[in-house]
Structures are given as structure tokens and as C-alpha cells.
Amino acid sequence: MEKDYEFVKQQLGPCGVNCGKCFAFSGGNIYDLSKQLKKALGNFDIYAKRFVELLEEPVFLKYPEFKEFLDYLAEQKCKGCRNERCKLSKTCQVRSCSEKKNVDYCFQCEEFPCANTGFDEHLYKRYVEINMRMKKIGVEAYYEETKNLPRYR
Ligand code: SF4
Ligand code: SF4
């Protein structure tokens, strides 16, 4: 069943990017899956050392770095753009600007697409594409269309 407008608004920022899929989003799928993997691995540290010799697989020497990164992904970091300032795009102007313009998403603003986002070239391109698509098919349908795609593509 298609999710409603308010639910989708908690997932997508005013730029249209899906905070719910961001690695930093507490409660997002990357965060949840990282916590699950951490739990499933348990005390793998001592086994990783053993597997280097038992399996003659030097890849297990990399476990400490992998674990450090997994711990990082499994930490609470951000409640999403609708609730706090973005931790990743520090130059973002969209959140405060959309509040001033009183729009939920940039495509609802008469100035879209504007030069006021503060985004780099990559993010700007995505912002334009996402908003054009939301404008065409609606916010809820856009969410449904993309909800199972990876955020980083
Ligand atoms: S506000 Fe920024 S850091 Fe936070 S979840 Fe959204 S994209 Fe990620
Ligand atoms: S001026 Fe630009 S950043 Fe601000 S709400 Fe409109 S389209 Fe978005």
C-alpha cells in the first residue's frame, strides 16, 4: 500500500533526498542492518585471528578495520533533515530556505530549480532529477518507486 504524504515527508528531505536510506539516519536500513550484523558476529574477533591460520585466509586480518567501520555504521547519528541539521551536507541551504518559502519540497517552490542550494555538482544534479520526478508523479508515488533502490547509486 502506498505510504501517505506525512509518512513520506519524514523520510525525504525538502531537497527530495531520502534521509531514511542515509547511512547516518538512526532507524534507517543501513543502521538497522549494521546493528543486526554486529549482533550476529558476536565475539568474532578471536575467531578472525584463528581463521587466518585455519583457513589460510589473510583476509581475516582485515577484521579489526571492518569491525571499526561496522561499529561506526551502527551508531546513532542523525534524526533526519526534518528534525535536525544535516550532518553531511554542511553547506545545505535548502532546509532553511524551504521553511522560509513555506514549501515541503523544492519542486513546490516557484524558484525551482534555483542556484541557492549550496550543493556540490553531484548533489545538485540529483536534487533536480528527484524534484522533477516528484513533480511529475507525486511525492508518494516517487517514494514507492525508489524505496527499494540503494541510496548510493
Ligand atoms: S539530514 Fe543529512 S545526515 Fe541526517 S539523515 Fe538526512 S541526509 Fe543523512
Ligand atoms: S528557493 Fe531554491 S532552495 Fe529555496 S525552496 Fe525554492 S527551490 Fe528550494
pLDDT in tens, 103-115: 999 999 999 999 9
Question: 25 and 152 in contact (C-beta within 8 Å)?
Answer: no
Question: 139 and 131 in contact (C-beta within 8 Å)?
Answer: no
Say what the pTM is.
0.87
Question: 129 and 153 in contact (C-beta within 8 Å)?
Answer: no
Does the bond joining 150 to the residue before it have cis omega, within 30 degrees of 0? Answer: no
User: What percent of the chain stands above pLDDT 90?
Assistant: 88
CA nearest ligand 2 atom 4, residue: 97
* CA nearest to 131, candidates 20, 3, 16: 16
What is the Å distance from ligand 2's center to 128 Cα?
Answer: 11
Collapsed DSSP state (helix, strand, coil) of residue 78: strand
User: Residues with Cβ < 8 Å from 128, sequence gap 6 or more?
Assistant: 113
> For cell 589473510, what's the residue?
58
Name the DSSP letter for residue 31. H
pLDDT higher than threshold 70 for residue 1: no
Confidence at residue 90, expressed as pLDDT on a 0 to 100 scale: 87
Pocket of ligand 2 (CB under 6 A): 93-94, 97-98, 101, 103, 106, 109, 111-112, 114, 116-117
Q: What residue type is assigned to position 64 of the chain?
A: P
Q: What's the rounded Cα separation, in Å, for the pair 30 and 20?
A: 9
pLDDT higher than threshold 80 for residue 25: yes
Confidence at residue 77, expressed as pLDDT on a 0 to 100 scale: 87
State which H helix or E strand residue 135 sits in. helix 121-137
